[in-house]
A = this chain, B = another copy of it.
Amino acid sequence: MAPRVDPPDPPPRNDKRERIVEAAIEVFAEKGFAAARISDIAKGAGVADGTIYLYFRNKEDLLLTIFEEKMEEILRDLDRALDGLDRPVDRMRAYARAHFHQLQTHPALAQVLQIELRQSSRFVRGYRPERLWQYLSVFEGLIRDGQAAGALRADLDPFLATWAFFGALDELSIQWVLARKRDRFNLEQAADQVVEIFLHGLLAAPGLTEAAAPLAAPSPVVTPPAP
């Protein structure tokens, strides 16, 4: 067997950029975006202030880069978490658990994505967070599949249900992030309960019909976003 030769030019792992991103996540999470100083991030990354501007246009660009790049990772993790699961119900539970697992594994990143990102006026006004939409569309797909298979109710708007589900996860995430005592939540059980609520609802009795009546033939409440 031929000996495997080490690459002669080991790609000079430009870790500076990576280190800046990681340091920024920590500093943004700790001090908040507005109060975070570039020099803090530079110090955290072990580079000079000016070096940051070799890789990012400005502070806001750094924040948005965190969103873009980390969401990409999160999306990959999500795909991996759902891989091999077929039933929508199983996939939903895995989705929620993955969401909270990500939260627990990277709390500083969670803080940045949940809270600091909204400090960017560029993000809040006019930015198109395609990666977030992708993240949501995975769930939306589950609903549509379930509806097509007849397993899920057809009278509910998938888009709206998706945002509601995401909102529920997100809000619990924020509360978990903000809570000093992080163990106040058992995130795994929380995930299951949220899925449980979305699947079976709050009602104790099975066939409560009257409440559903006004929704019997809902007009579409949400129109698709402009492309």
Interface positions of A (Cβ within 8 A of B): 31-32, 34-35, 89, 93, 115, 118-119, 121, 124-125, 133, 143, 146, 150-157, 159-161, 163-172, 175, 178, 181, 184-186, 189-190, 192-209, 211-212, 214-226
Nearest CB of chain B from residue A118's CB, rounded to whole Å: 6
Q: In the complex, which residues of chain B have a beta carbon less than 8 angstroms from the beta carbon of A143?
A: 202
Q: Which of B172, B190, B198, B222 meets A202, CB within 8 Å?
A: B198
Q: In the complex, which residues of chain B have a beta carbon less than 8 angstroms from the beta carbon of A224?
A: 159
A–B complex contacts, Cβ < 8 Å, 21 sampled? A133-B225, A152-B204, A153-B202, A154-B204, A155-B218, A156-B215, A159-B222, A160-B194, A164-B194, A167-B169, A185-B222, A186-B221, A189-B221, A190-B222, A196-B211, A196-B215, A197-B197, A199-B202, A200-B205, A200-B208, A201-B202
Q: In the complex, which residues of chain B have a beta carbon less than 8 angstroms from the beta carbon of A163?
A: 168, 171-172, 175
Copies of this chain present: 4
Q: Which of B155, B199, B200, B209 meets A217, CB within 8 Å?
A: B155
**Pairwise interchain contact A32-B124, C-beta atoms closer than 8 A:** yes
Known A-B contacts A34-B119, A171-B171, A217-B155; the reply to A201 vs B212 at CB < 8 A is no
Q: In the complex, which residues of chain B have a beta carbon less than 8 angstroms from the beta carbon of A170?
A: 167, 171
Q: In the complex, which residues of chain B have a beta carbon less than 8 angstroms from the beta carbon of A152?
A: 202-204
Q: CA of A204 to CA of B197 in the docked complex: distance in angstroms?
A: 14
**Pairwise interchain contact A124-B115, C-beta atoms closer than 8 A:** yes
Q: Give 12 A-B pairs besides A156-B196, A184-B223, A186-B221 with Cβ atoms closer than 8 angstroms.
A: A34-B121, A118-B119, A156-B197, A156-B218, A157-B218, A167-B172, A181-B226, A184-B225, A189-B218, A193-B221, A196-B215, A200-B212
